[in-house]
């Protein structure tokens, strides 16, 4: 049980790339939220999240919601459209 906890803790401490196009990690998104980002527009403006292919949008929004205590459905649907 202790070993399992250690492994899980190590997995969560490793940054995960959310936006591969712009090399943005979940840790950076959480940090942006702590600094006041509360919409996907904020994340796009500050970190360029979802400004290229847009495949990271759902994951980024989930992290945003978790960190701003919004519900997933209440999050704004604003999003940059790939060129
Ligand atoms: S993975 Fe984020 S814009 Fe492509």
CA 37 to ligand 1 center in whole angstroms = 18
Out of 24, 43, 50, mutate this one to test ligand 1's pocket (max ligand atoms within 8 Å of CB): namely 50
pTM of the model: 0.71
- Predicted confidence (pLDDT) per residue in 2-57, tens digit: 555 555 545 567 889 999 999 999 999 999 999 999 999 999 999 999 999 999 99
Helix (H/G/I), strand (E/B), else coil: 17: strand
The Å distance, Cα 82 to ligand 1 centre, comes to 9
First to last CA, the chain: 49
> For residues 4 and 10, what is the distance between their CA atoms, to the nearest angstrom?
10
The domain made up of 17-83 is a member of CATH 3.40.50.970: no
* Predicted pLDDT of residue 43: 96
Residue whose CA is at the smallest distance from ligand 1 atom 2: 19
Whether 75 has a pLDDT exceeding 80, the answer reads: no
Residue 71: pLDDT above 50?
no
Q: Which residues line ligand 1 (CB under 6 A)?
A: 19-22, 50-56
């Amino acid at each position: 049980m202790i070993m399992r906890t250690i492994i899980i803790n190590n997995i969560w401490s490793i940054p995960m790339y959310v936006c591969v196009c712009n090399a943005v990690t979940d840790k950076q998104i959480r940090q942006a939220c702590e600094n006041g980002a509360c919409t996907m527009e904020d994340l796009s403006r500050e970190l360029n999240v979802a400004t290229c292919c847009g495949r990271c949008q759902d994951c980024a929004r989930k992290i945003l919601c978790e960190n701003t205590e919004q519900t997933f459905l209440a999050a704004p649907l604003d999003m940059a459209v790939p060129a």
